[in-house]
Structure 1
């Protein structure tokens, strides 16, 4: 009751400076502040004491009873506690989970079924933990490698297409209008617009715009970006430079560069000079470093 009394005085603003200082030192004070915030946003019906009194007097009772009215502040605290903890539980239970890999970094995490996901730089995944068993769907923006737990299944949705899986290992990349899927183990079903493709180990498929542009077999046992390399298959120069910016967390100024050529090959993610030299030598360009994180690429005159 002592704690309730202190809380009530604080809510009503009746504490002395010394009492307030002691109350703020309580480890639970941050929680009390949240309760006060929630309660200030509530609209509760007014307590009409005269109406209740008239109802009691007008009701005939055979055995007199003594009715003890609890202080209004006590009921208020109880209501706020219930609502506050309810909101806290609902927020933590039903809010979608977001996993993010910032530029220049990779992130590894487990799904509720213990499937492993590795996010590449500049990528994000959203999913719901609370109803995972009935809603096994992920939303991917960027690139990720999936190691699906044996016997488990789910869908990977992107703004370009989706991949359905069952106990497999595969890579999905969705950047702008380019959609790439590679199967390393098991089997995956890829849906892109009206097209459906089944991939088995060692097969990859790529779509750009509304067309399938790549369908081939590869020898890699896992995505090369896990080994500090980037692999491209008929990629536009602009897309290659954008990926370099994500991996190294830098800015590349290449506004005056125009090229319709496509790049196929690999570049490192642990040495930006080699990466830029590889690209600029192929396109007959040159690059220079303007600041620690800014580069300029221009044509050789």
Structure 2
């Protein structure tokens, strides 16, 4: 765009007479005159430097917050930790807790209400910690001894039956098709299929293959297996062999004809050789040691 120098010279009054006459002869001169006339009446406001400086200095200063990279990283780590702790708390309290006693071992632990449980070998318990005080219910597979703290209803569920108490000491055993319950203190309600029975201190009840077995009263203060003794009442050879296997964590291979003889009594279980000798004498068997974890029980009639 070509700059209009004649207009600038006219506005500044620097034209010669010849240049002025030539400029006034232009068609737009009348418009230039109007612009010059009106602009001359405009006055720019005075610029007070001191006042503006004072205003700037007295203005409230806004604090500029700076988050360093380190702070930002720490915030992220803290957030991850909070989320992780939340997930851990949720899992730990809402998921089912499992306690297990391996073969050859017993396990003692406490429930959230300080009820004491001792798991016998090869047994497992599952329960939920969340809301335990209001819903004291657990699932048992195997055998366990309970010292229940007083409180709301306490239930033990097994595949064969259910035991309900308020605050007492009792033993529950569920193996294969047999269900045994013994009360050592207080009262225990036992449910098996459509049968419900209440037993008190010293009483026991057993069910096998849908039939109820009446057991004699006992003066024992707790289950014999806590003292490394295996107690049986009208149980067959297969059941006895299974208990010895779990208690000593061994394998017993039975090479004998089916024996329907039922055994009632106590077998010491601190030494496997003594336990097997009693079993062999009762059922006419010969224990043969294969290795440290395996024995063969062979019928003497076959030798």
Identify whether the pair has TM-score above 0.5, normalized to the shorter chain. Answer: yes
Give the 3 Å change call, closer, same or farther, for CA 78–227 of structure 1 in structure 2: closer
What is aligned with 2:160?
Answer: 160
Q: How does 1:47-196 map to 2 (within 5 A)?
A: 83-151=83-151, 153-196=153-196
Q: Report the counterpart of residue 233 of structure 1 in structure 2.
A: 233
Residue 113 of structure 1 contacts residue 149 of structure 1 at CA under 8 Å; is this kept in 2?
yes
Unaligned 5+ runs, structure 2: 1-68
Cα RMSD of the aligned pairs, angstroms, is 2.3
Relative to structure 1, the CA distance from residue 148 to residue 85 in structure 2 (aligned partners, 3 Å threshold; closer, same or farther) is closer
Whole-Å Cα distance in 1 between the matches of residues 185 and 77 of structure 2? 57
Match runs of 1:241-252 below 5 Å: 241-252=241-252
Moved more, 287-296 or 130-139: 130-139
Query: Matched residues in 1 for 2:217 and 2:148: separation?
Result: 21
Question: 2:260 matched to which residue of 1?
Answer: 260
- Note the C-alpha offset of 1:219: 2.2
Corresponding position of 1:9: none
3-state DSSP class of the match of 1:234?
Answer: strand
TM-score by length of 1: 0.72
1 CA distance for matches of 2:186 and 2:127? 23
Q: Residue 199 of structure 1 aligns with which residue?
A: 199
Aligned to 1:239, what secondary structure does the other structure show?
helix
Counterpart Cα distance in 2 of 1:76 and 1:167: 49
Please say which of residues 180-189 and 221-230 is displaced more in the overlay. Answer: 221-230
Distance 1:152 1:85, change over 3 A: closer
Partner of 2:273 in structure 1?
273
Corresponding position of 2:59: none
Larger radius of gyration: 2
Question: 1:9-20 alignment to 2 at 5 Å?
Answer: none
Cα distance change, pair 221–78 in 1 and its aligned pair in 2 (3 A): closer
Corresponding residue SS for 1:216: coil
CA distance in 2, matches of 1:291, 1:257: 24
Rounded to whole Å, the distance in 2 between the matches of 1:217 and 1:155 is 23
CA displacement at 1:223 relative to structure 2 = 0.8
Instruction: Note the alpha carbon deviations across 1:104-151, whole angstroms, 9 max, x for none.
Output: 111111111111111111111111111102221011111111111234
Change (3 A) 1:86 1:266: same
CA distance in 2, matches of 1:174, 1:162: 10
Distance 1:78 1:202, change over 3 A: closer
Q: Is the 8 A contact 2:135 2:153 kept in 1?
A: no
| CA 1:81–1:194: 2 relative to 1, 3 Å | same
**Post-superposition CA distance 1:161-180 (Å, at most 9, x none):** 01001221111000111100
TM-score, scaled relative to structure 2: 0.71
Unaligned runs of 5+ in 1: 1-70
User: Would you identify which runs of 4 or more consecutive aligned residues in structure 1 move more than 2 Å?
Assistant: 73-89, 150-153, 213-216
SS in 2 for 1:254: strand
